[in-house]
Structure 1
Amino acid sequence: MRTFSLAAATGLTGLMAGLFFAYTCSVMPGLAAVDDRTFVGTMQSINRRILNGWFLAAFLGAALLIGVAAALHLTVGGPVLAWTVAALGCYGATLVITMRLSVPLNDRLDAAGPVDRIADLRAVRESFESTWVRWNLLRTVTNVAAFACLVAALLSRRT
């Protein structure tokens, strides 16, 4: 059960790191090149549609499984536990950034209303884009760090 929970946590954390990295290196740079109407409408649509079972299972499941893996390794101790606890801290930072910073920005963007009814699309975009991109980059880093820690935990089980 210890190995399974650690491997599953690593897999889900890797999926989330990949998702955030894709936004960092392709989605947001691609959207940076479009007009304000396209940007706002696209981000509103993405933010609504990402709230689905697949995303939530990976996003919340990673946190749960890292916690389970850490708890199951409490009696073992050593580097596996240390790396898993480090991963828990890094992924915890990802959760905080997402829930306290990214989600409120997404909610504000959605509250602006349908793009056809927004009087100043430029202002809506400017109040969202650079801040969201900055926080997404940070959560990409924290999530990749969590993934790296879990890989290290798995590798340390073999020694």
Structure 2
Amino acid sequence: MEIWALVAASVGIVATGLVAGTVFAYSNSVMPGLRKADDRTMVTAIRLLTSSVANPVFLIISNLALVAQIAFVVLAFVANLLSAWVGIAALVLYAATQLITFAGNLPLNKAIINGGEPTADNGWHGLRTDFEDRWTMLNHWRVVTAAASTVLLVVAVGMM
């Protein structure tokens, strides 16, 4: 059972790390770069980026991270491993990542996508203002929770 827990944790580390890396890339390069763009360019770019991120590969990886973490916790408890408790902490942090995504970032994505095509420059500015600062702050939190989840999974493996 311990070997399967190790496999699940390893898959969880890779998948969660990929999610953490994706949200980190947005916090570290995409959003700072778009902050320098004019309103119309920023809104158009966000619309294009948002629609491209919601692809099967990313959806599989983000769901695989959750499934692998759950499997690790279950298998670690069955094997009576102390690392199961660290796995729970990692799982809670990854669940927080998903909660922030579904309750915060995705509704903002939908709002900016469904905001129509403004006919005046101030319409583009309004779409940007309603989106940018809140989305960016929520994404920074996703970086923290996903990265911390990954680190805790590595710690859990080290305890095995």
TM range (shorter): over 0.9
What is the rounded CA distance, in whole Å, between the counterparts of 1:98 and 1:15 in structure 2? 15
Partner of 1:79: 82
What is the rounded CA distance, in whole Å, between the counterparts of 1:104 and 1:127 in structure 2? 11
Q: Does 1:20 align with 2:23?
A: yes
What is the rounded CA distance, in whole Å, between the counterparts of 1:118 and 1:16 in structure 2? 35
Asked if the contact 1:40/1:115 (under 8 Å) is kept, the reply is no
Equivalent of 2:32, from 14, 29, 53? 29
Structure 1 gaps, min length 5: none
Per-residue deviation, 1:105: 0.3
Per-residue deviation, 1:79: 3.1
Give 2:38's aligned amino acid: D
| TM alignment of 1:9-158, pairs within 5 A | 9-114=12-117, 120-157=123-160
Q: Deviations over 1:27-63 (max 9, x none)?
A: 1000000011110000001111111111001111101
Q: What TM-score results when the alignment is normalised by the length of structure 2? A: 0.93
Identity of paired residues, percent? 31
What is the rounded CA distance, in whole Å, between the counterparts of 2:102 and 2:10 in structure 1? 25
Figure out how many residues of one structure are paired with residues of the other and give that number: 157
Give 2:87's aligned amino acid: T
Per-residue deviation, 1:123: 0.7
Asked if the contact 1:37/1:115 (under 8 Å) is kept, the reply is no
What is the rounded CA distance, in whole Å, between the counterparts of 2:97 and 2:21 in structure 1? 13
Give 1:52's aligned amino acid: N
Q: Which moved more, 1:119-128 or 1:103-112?
A: 119-128
Q: Deviations over 1:96-122 (max 9, x none)?
A: 000000000000001112467886100
Q: Deviations over 1:69-92 (max 9, x none)?
A: 111111233431011111000000
Per-residue deviation, 1:66: 0.3
Asked if the contact 1:112/1:118 (under 8 Å) is kept, the reply is no
Structure 2 gaps, min length 5: none
Q: What is the RMSD computed on CA atoms of the aligned residues?
A: 1.5
SS state at 1:73 partner: helix
Per-residue deviation, 1:2: 1.6
What is the rounded CA distance, in whole Å, between the counterparts of 1:13 and 1:79 in structure 2? 21
